[in-house]
Structure 1
Amino acid sequence: MLPMDLGDMVGMEADMDQIEHLLDLSFTTNEVRMVGIWGMAGIGKTAIAKNLYQKHKHHFKIHHCFMEKVSSLKAKSPLDLQKWLLSDILRKKDLKALNFGQGAPCIKSRLVNLKSLIVIDDVDDVKQLDALAKEASWFGPGTRIIITTRDKSLLNSSCAVYKVEYLKDDKALQIFQRFAFQGAEPPIAYNDLFISISQLAQGLPSALEDFGTYLRGKSLVEWRDALKSFREAPLEKTTVDLKSSYDGLDELGKAAFLHVACLFNGEPVRRVRKLLGQGKAGMGVLKEKSLIKVSSDRRITMHRLLEQMGKHIVRQESNNNPSQQRILWHHDDILRVLDTNTVSYTQCSNFFLVSFWLARLCHHSLAEAKIIRYN
């Protein structure tokens, strides 16, 4: 049985209400309902799905299943996943006789008359999803299926999509307080730091938890030092969680991600598409995979922690040697590289100076100049 931590409910009440409506968990209809919970890593998709599962599984007798972290099961075949689903729903462990190619027909024949609750958590491969819930017709009347994913493109047309957004400031502070002070009011001396560090997480629940847990029991001086550190880079645990999204991109997606993180966060989509080769395709990939959003005024917005992670990746690639970085954005590094003639205008086959940043370099401030290196 999955544990249910009521603390996980902070900030999720509205999300749960809307997903319950999409799933029709009042059962005004007997049709099969499928909802995809979509959003970036650490946004709380799994926590929402767990709470929905625990709250409503009693409506489905014994026919319910929570398939957690499906993306981590790369070594498992689609048949293994199908056996897992069937054994949990049917409460039967002996499904060894099921052979390749028999999984989907067996799901349909065995579950088509059962009202089931199924959660397929953290899917990142369409083959896994197709093996488990390709068609609503496989399942019995009243069945409800919840899918959590970072990649909207995996969800088919029969699946309603619900996007999980960042927490509002007041809810973010509650989450941070819960982990940093175990729910107690922060001492007055910590108030400004408390708010500043919470805002650095920019409403991302997993980062709020990581920051709060790290700072629990630490002194005021340690909090101040941590704030400086967090402004440069997130905690390693947070970075690992977020980097899994980057690692899942193809080369086009990775290049687009790094250029947005280092140069174009906040820039108009149209301009970025023109500046980057295959920019339209790259922006589309990042949006589908919850790595960027497009604001109402058509500007690209990337979460601050993703931006920090992207810059960290570029530095690591070059062993922190600015002259070897594929992208330069910090004015000190730009000055150093130009002053030492590591790059010159005659090296235009290796370097592309983005036009609008070059204009700033010439007419405004070197601090605002940014350079992309193509190898």
Structure 2
Amino acid sequence: MKRKMSSSPEIGSTSDGTLGALFDVFLSFRGPDTRTNFTYTLYYALLDKGIRVFIDKKGIGVGEEIGPEIFHAIDDSKICIPIFSKGYASSRWCLRELEHMMQCRKTNELEILPVFYDVEPSDVKLETRVYRDALTQHKKECGVETVQGWEDALKEVTKIKGWDAKNKGYGELAHLIARKVSVKLKVSSVYISDELVGMDESVNEIVDMLNVESKDIRIIGIWGMGGIGKTTLAKVVYSKLSTNFESHSFISDIREASKGFGLLNVQRQLISNIIGDVGVELSSIDHGMNMIKDQFCRMKVLIFLDDVDHASQLMALAAKKEWFGMGSRIVVTTRNKSVLCKFQSQFEHCLIYEAKELNNLAALRLFSKHAFRSDSPPNAFLSLSTEVITKTGGLPLAIEVIGSFLCGKTKEVVWQDTLEKMDHLLHEDVKEKLMLSYEKLDHPQKQIFLDIACFLSGKNKSYATYMWDDCGFFPEEGIDVLLLMSLVKIGEENTLWMHDQLKDLGKSIVHQEYYKDPRKGSRVWELGGPDIVQNRKGI
């Protein structure tokens, strides 16, 4: 009689015992030893976290053979958890399951998380008689060659760090394991495009800054102008490092999510992700802060807070290092460097990484992926493609938007029109993204931004400062804000520098002022300017 697969309906089994879905976890155990105590406790702890579990609820009777369904279930699982009890090695079926798991670990990168229930790793390693006597009996019934494979699997599995169930309550240990499994299964919880280009160096630099092996508590800021790829960079780093932490969370678009009473929902999401409780109830921001402090302080966590634009948001989510366990890391993406200033005294390390524009080679490759669905443009479009990326200034957002717009367009006249249009107008999708930073400025700061965009990029900051001072624009404070928001930089010899896309933004804003009548515009930078100024005298 062959063994039928038995599992709960929640995990996709069918009435005839055939496999209906992939499993997250396969539990291997000897029923009489652990089924009704620890194994079921772990099983339900995993189910509570939405994890699909294969568990044999029936067991194998005397004389029954292990069926292929069991091996299929192991093959189709992401994680296997063998629960080693004193009687585990007396079961030939448990040993066959273990041997198959260890084979899959080598070929399919299956993850094994052993639990030493009431035995020591030395027992499983056959250094004592606990398992050795059972294997001696198996040799008489199954042959030396068969048992040798089981012995090798037992010795090999002890090289994997597992859990010791002694001196821990079943519920506590089951909760710890379920949380660890949940973390491992959430590695791909953020979507990352297949069309990434030129990020390896930046990712490696941030990983080095995070230094996950260090036990200190760090906050890292990924800072830069809108559209430069901060969020994408953060997602790649998050996916790369998530499994190094006890629990982790990636909260997207905090700027938008925090509007109105939304910050309370952001706190709920963070707490739910970290402690695995989907029913978190918070009465106020203060209540949320206290819960984060109380619940996270003993855990090594990785938290990514994307698009933070105000220090109050960070205060509500990660105010002090004492809120987090040793080795925790908080990563913040922001356009405004000043949101991190208040936290430099709160964390042992508060570091800033400035996101960079793509170099010409990477920019051309990214553009080609969007415009031509390949790594490089056709020879006929190489020159035009190079002109496009030059006008984008290496800004990933602009490259992707223009590349997607030109995808499938083969007429050279369309490309020429697009290039000419880029000289006068910013694409709406790019403009919308960059306007978010502009709208955060007050009136004097906006005037300074527009002056630099229209006239003063590449000019000496000192001369412009005298003008702005006479206009009552508070230039020192205004320039400092623009620097913190990555809207302007100070280059060599004290010159002002602004990204081409930001200059285009400024000109498009001014252009809207005089769209119908250029004589009414606040700034003129094209030919004909002197005539317009002359005509406006006396108005």
TM-score band by shorter chain is 0.7 to 0.9
Give the aligned partner of residue 480 of structure 2: 284
Alignment counterpart, residue 16 of structure 1, candidates 203, 220, 223: 203
- For 1:210-264, what per-residue CA distance to the aligned partner results, in whole angstroms no more than 9, with x for missing partners? 1100111112221111111112122111111111111121222211111111121
Give the aligned partner of residue 109 of structure 1: 294
Question: Which amino acid letter does the alignment assign opposite residue 532 of structure 2?
Answer: R
8 Å Cα contact 2:221/2:331 also seen in 1: yes
Q: Which moved more, 1:77-86 or 1:136-145?
A: 77-86
Give the aligned partner of residue 365 of structure 1: none
CA distance in structure 2 between the aligned counterparts of 1:291 and 1:97, rounded to whole angstroms? 37
CA distance in structure 2 between the aligned counterparts of 1:266 and 1:136, rounded to whole angstroms? 42
CA distance in structure 2 between the aligned counterparts of 1:69 and 1:97, rounded to whole angstroms? 21
The number of aligned residues is 339
Is 1:167 equivalent to 2:354 in the alignment?
Answer: no
8 Å Cα contact 1:123/1:149 also seen in 2: yes
- The normalised TM-score by structure 2 is 0.61
- For 1:123-181, what per-residue CA distance to the aligned partner results, in whole angstroms no more than 9, with x for missing partners? 11111111111111111111111100000011031321111121111111111111111
8 Å Cα contact 1:81/1:131 also seen in 2: no
Offset of residue 309 of structure 1? 1.2
CA distance in structure 2 between the aligned counterparts of 1:296 and 1:320, rounded to whole angstroms? 39
Offset of residue 77 of structure 1? 4.3
- For 1:22-45, what per-residue CA distance to the aligned partner results, in whole angstroms no more than 9, with x for missing partners? 1103x1x21111100000001111
Is 1:230 equivalent to 2:404 in the alignment?
Answer: no
CA distance in structure 1 between the aligned counterparts of 2:390 and 2:321, rounded to whole angstroms? 41
Alignment counterpart, residue 190 of structure 1, candidates 366, 381, 384: 381
Offset of residue 193 of structure 1? 0.7
- For 1:34-62, what per-residue CA distance to the aligned partner results, in whole angstroms no more than 9, with x for missing partners? 1000000011110010001111111224x
Is 1:343 equivalent to 2:534 in the alignment?
Answer: no
Give the aligned partner of residue 272 of structure 1: 464
Question: Which amino acid letter does the alignment assign opposite residue 19 of structure 1?
Answer: I
Alignment counterpart, residue 217 of structure 1, candidates 395, 403, 408: 408
Give the aligned partner of residue 4 of structure 1: 192
Q: 1:128 to 1:97 in 2, by over 3 A?
A: closer
Offset of residue 97 of structure 1? 4.5
Aligned alpha-carbon RMSD (Å): 1.6
CA distance in structure 1 between the aligned counterparts of 2:285 and 2:425, rounded to whole angstroms? 46
- For 1:88-135, what per-residue CA distance to the aligned partner results, in whole angstroms no more than 9, with x for missing partners? 111111122544422212111100001111000001111111111111
Give the aligned partner of residue 303 of structure 1: 499
The residue correspondences of 1:110-125 to structure 2 (distance < 5 A) are 110-125=295-310
- SS, match of residue 297 in structure 1: helix
CA distance in structure 2 between the aligned counterparts of 1:98 and 1:75, rounded to whole angstroms? 15
CA distance in structure 1 between the aligned counterparts of 2:248 and 2:516, rounded to whole angstroms? 50
Offset of residue 87 of structure 1? 1.1
CA distance in structure 2 between the aligned counterparts of 1:49 and 1:332, rounded to whole angstroms? 46
Give the aligned partner of residue 139 of structure 1: 324
8 Å Cα contact 2:223/2:337 also seen in 1: yes
- 4+ residue segments displaced more than 3 Å: 97-100
Query: Which structure is richer in relative contact order (CA contacts within 8 A, separation 6 or more)?
Result: 1
8 Å Cα contact 1:265/1:300 also seen in 2: yes
Unaligned stretches of 5+ in structure 2?
A: 1-188
Q: 1:83 to 1:22 in 2, by over 3 A?
A: same
- SS, match of residue 307 in structure 2: strand
Question: Which amino acid letter does the alignment assign opposite residue 430 of structure 2?
Answer: T
Q: Which moved more, 1:104-113 or 1:183-192?
A: 183-192
CA distance in structure 2 between the aligned counterparts of 1:35 and 1:247, rounded to whole angstroms? 26
Q: 1:230 to 1:97 in 2, by over 3 A?
A: closer
Question: Which amino acid letter does the alignment assign opposite residue 246 of structure 1?
Answer: Y
Give the aligned partner of residue 518 of structure 2: 322
* Larger radius of gyration between Structure 1 and Structure 2: 2
Query: What percent identity do the matched residue pairs reach?
Result: 33
CA distance in structure 1 between the aligned counterparts of 2:319 and 2:461, rounded to whole angstroms? 34
Alignment counterpart, residue 219 of structure 2, candidates 34, 37, 46: 34
Question: Which amino acid letter does the alignment assign opposite residue 304 of structure 1?
Answer: D
Question: Which amino acid letter does the alignment assign opposite residue 304 of structure 2?
Answer: V
CA distance in structure 1 between the aligned counterparts of 2:224 and 2:516, rounded to whole angstroms? 32
- The normalised TM-score by structure 1 is 0.87
CA distance in structure 1 between the aligned counterparts of 2:413 and 2:525, rounded to whole angstroms? 31
Unaligned stretches of 5+ in structure 1?
A: 348-375
